[in-house]
Amino acid sequence: MAYDPDFGEWVREHLAALGPLEIKRMFGGAAVYVNGLIFALLDDGVIWLKADEVNAPLLAQAGARQFTYPAKDGREMAMAYWSLPESALDDPDEAADWARRSIEAALRKATARTPRKPKPKG
């Protein structure tokens, strides 16, 4: 993964409709947060949006591609992130709509997690 701070600034401007975004470096790329929730990754000039069973089919239909990487054993591994559709690269309103769907996917995942049991004291 590679992150360019200039690209991060473009992302902030392009997704300004979402309000303030926090971008933190992560694994050579960067994670994009809104209200403390990761909804996108930035890598090599690509916005990768968080996806689940609800928005992944919509992203695929719009021509987005799934984030994949080669595993140590040679297999191709897929992550739950999809590229911002090409049509949204020049349309901030469309990009913000896709990002909102990604935020919803991140919220669904966060609320689906089962809370950890507290460790016993003593």
Q: In this predicted model, what pLDDT tens digit does every residue of 25-79 receive, in sequence order? A: 988 889 999 999 999 999 999 999 999 999 999 999 999 999 998 889 989 999 9
- Confidence tier at 120 by pLDDT (50, 70, 90): low
2 or 78, which is more confident?
A: 78
> What confidence score (pLDDT) does residue 13 get?
96
- The full set of domains in the chain, from first to last, is 5-112 (3.30.1460.30)
> What confidence score (pLDDT) does residue 115 get?
62
Q: In this predicted model, what pLDDT tens digit does every residue of 77-102 receive, in sequence order? A: 999 999 999 999 999 999 999 999 99
> What confidence score (pLDDT) does residue 8 get?
94
Those residues with Cβ within 8 angstroms of residue 3's Cβ, 6 or more apart along the chain or in another chain:
25, 28, 29, 30, 42, 43
> What confidence score (pLDDT) does residue 116 get?
63
pLDDT surpasses 80 at 113 = no
Those residues with Cβ within 8 angstroms of residue 16's Cβ, 6 or more apart along the chain or in another chain:
92, 96
Q: Distance of alpha carbon 1 from its chain centroid, rounded? A: 14
Tokens of 90: 């020049």
Model pTM? 0.86
> What confidence score (pLDDT) does residue 3 get?
74
